[in-house]
Structure 1
Amino acid sequence: MPTTLITTPTFARHADRPWQILKEADAGPRRLPTAELLQHAAEADALIVGMDPITAEVMDAAPRLKVIAKHGVGVDTIDMAAARTRGIPVVCAPGSNSRAVAEYTFGLLLSATRSLTASHTEVAAGGWPKLFGPELHGKTLGIVGFGRIGRLLAGYARAFGMELLAHDPYVQGDDIRAHGAEPAALDDLLARADAVSLHTPPDPSGAPLLDRARLAAMKPGAVLVNAARGGLVDEHALAELLGSGHLGAAALDAFSTEPLPADHPLRMAPRTLLTSHMAACTPEANQAMGAMVAEDVVRVLAGEAPHHQAR
């Protein structure tokens, strides 16, 4: 019987079906703490992982490994070149969490602009603040990355009467316009948008998309929302620009180091909303994501081609 090692704690957390798929196919599912992966890698015919870094070292320690499944969408934590060299397919769950992330992102935007969490904190402590924040109607939202999530977010923003700019070098301008947004170069978008939301993978080089210069070039008072990847933003520069008042607010669900270190400057930055990389955490997304990767693991272990192979 093959063995499927599962290191992501959220697999099948709110749905039995993903686990059942593996058990019914005799795929040998077994949960394993991430810290023990390298120690037990030799036992794995399949891996189902979350944010774990799956390096060439991990693959070399797993001579039986036939498939790596990302319990999610982005595969930037997996050494894709090493997997290709070793002939190990990498599968993921495209579209499974798009609506969850888009809804959450809009919630971050609304909360950041209207200081909802700041008001809650003060009221819970006995205060009664009257915190002012701008209406979203008539404001311009810049969406960086116009795939499934960006397009859903655009629909929510239009319902609030927002104007839309979108930057995505892989999407044609006519396609962007068809979804009610104006195509824009990144630097133009940053200069014009009242709020910017990131929905793009990080640069393979590790360099932040929004470095200090680009953050400083954002429209004064603008709000930054990041529910994608922490490596997209120079977090120290962001904290400084929030402190100086150049940026109006930031709402972040992803960070370059997770969990967020105790001494991280964003912990003390003003007008900042920080959440624990939970945008995709809905029961609906959890079921869809788990079922998609479980089914592809079963296919590969049976010698069949997966339906959702990452490239």
Structure 2
Amino acid sequence: MKKILVTATNYSKYCLEGKKILEDYGCEIVENPHDRPYTPEELKEVIADIDGVVAGVDTWNQEIFGLAPKLKAIARFGVGVDNIDLDAAKAHGITVSNCPGVNTSAVAEQAVGLILSLTRRIPFLNAAIRRGEWVRPMAHELKSQTVGFLGFGAIARNVAEKLQGFHPAMIAYDKYPNQEKADELGVRLCSLEEVLEQSDIISIHLPATPETAQLINRETIARMKDGVCLINTARGTIVDEKALCEALESGKIAGAGTDVFASEPVLPDNPLFAFEQYVATPHTSAETYENCATTSVVTAEALIAVFEGKEPVNRLV
């Protein structure tokens, strides 16, 4: 019997399809009892006899792998693997896979929701009217705005598709541009500098890498239009939160919406929460019934493939 640690949350509640696949294979499943990622200390207490992991956003590094002699596979419950030391995993003979493309629609919907929340000031107006205030600020319609994408992979393209009915101008920067997809969606590919300088709304869809760490900083913010709106459903490390605070305070950035933070779970004393024009959600973009069901199946099948000596889909190392 293989022992599987599931660090993604709410597994029995929303991931019954994948859970059944593992149980039918004869696996014993250890579920995350917390409504949050495991801390490193908590992982150390449970990892010693684990054969496979369905991983959330917990930190997986050399120290943890050194305490897991039986661990053969990690199937990331999502796309980003910046929380997993891939070199260390490879050194320990641990196969790592992820689920690219599965959560595309779910994350794209969240990005569009944050865009509308900011441009129409929905959270602010909801709070104001509940206080008995009848405030009616003006707003721009998206058809008069330019939406710029930093990164133009599957999620950004899905956002662009969803925004087509609102008729904004759309531009995008991508290190590996796909001209055919851009043409299909009416998106003009351009440089990073052009996206920063020409966009009324900037939506971030980049991976977390050393190259993208704090890409949004004082210098890049200074290149943006006054009154720009910034959306981040990618990774919190891409944005310098201190620089973002300064830009919100000065009005350089009129509004920011994020589903991700540099450190998660975020603490309630984060300075960003002082700004009413800041809208945040707790890394819930992918939390849909459909995404959880599909991802649970993909991760379960990836673990079983490794146990049977086969190549898992979306293997990274």
Please indicate, yes or no, whether the TM-score normalized by the shorter chain is above 0.5: yes
SS in 1 for 2:144: coil
CA gap of 1:172–1:98, structure 2 versus 1, over 3 A, is closer
Alignment-mate amino acid for residue 299 of structure 1? A
2:168 corresponding residue in structure 1:
162
What 5-or-longer segments of structure 2 have no aligned partner? Answer: none
Aligned to 1:178: 184
Q: Deviations along 1:160-182, whole A, 9 cap, x unmatched?
A: 10111111112244443333211
Distance in 2, matches of 1:213 and 1:24, equals 54
* CA positional deviation for 1:278: 0.6
Look up the equivalent residue of 1:132 and give its one-letter code. M
Partner of 2:13: 13
Q: Which residue of 2 aligns with 1:142?
A: 148
Matched, 1:82 2:80: no
Cα distance, 1:212 vs structure 2 = 1.3
* Residue aligned with 1:42, SS: coil
Q: How many residues align?
A: 311
In structure 2, what is the equivalent of residue 214 of structure 1? 220
Describe the superposition over 1:198-235 as per-residue Cα deviations: whole angstroms up to 9, x where unpaired: 01112236731111110121111110000111001011
Of 269-278 and 7-16, the range deviating more from structure 2: 7-16
How far 1:141 moved relative to its partner?
Answer: 0.5
Contact 1:209 1:232 (8 Å CA) reproduced: yes
Structure-to-structure mapping, 1:89-100, within 5 angstroms: 89-100=95-106
Aligned to 1:190: 196
Greater Cα shift, 211-220 or 172-181:
172-181
Quickly say closer, same or farther: Cα 1:309–1:229, change in 2 above 3 A: same
Question: Residue 65 of structure 2 aligns with which residue?
Answer: 59
Asked if 1 retains the 8 angstrom alpha-carbon contact of 2:82 and 2:209, the reply is no
Q: Deviation digits for residues 108-164 of structure 1, max 9, x if unmatched?
A: 001101100001111222222212221101311001111110111111222210111
Equivalent position of 2:207 in the other structure: 201
**Which of 99, 111, 116 is equivalent to 1:110?**
116
Task: Sort the Cα spacing of 1:237 and 1:270 in 2 relative to 1 into closer, same or farther, 3 A.
Answer: farther
Which stretch of structure 1 is more off in the superposition, 192-201 or 120-129? 120-129
**2:12 & 2:139 partners in 1: Cα distance?**
39
Pick closer, same or farther for the CA change 1:13–1:199 going to 2, 3 Å.
Answer: farther
**Distance in 2 between residues matched to 1:250 and 1:268, nearest whole Å:** 12
Which amino acid in the other structure matches residue 147 of structure 2? L
CA distance in 2, matches of 1:73, 1:295: 16
Partner SS state of residue 4, structure 1: strand
- Alpha-carbon deviations, 1:246-283, whole Å to 9, x = none? 11111111010122223211011241111111111110
2:263 maps to 257
* Whole-angstrom distance in 1 between the partners of 2:235 and 2:180: 27
- Partner of 1:210, secondary structure, is coil
Q: Is the 8 A contact 1:3 1:46 kept in 2?
A: yes
For residues 290 and 255 of structure 2, the distance between their equivalents in structure 1, rounded to whole angstroms, comes to 30
CA distance in 1, matches of 2:213, 2:164: 32
Identity %: 34
Question: In 2, distance between residues paired with 1:150 and 1:175?
Answer: 11
The amino acid that maps onto 2:26 is D
The Cα RMSD (Å) is 1.5
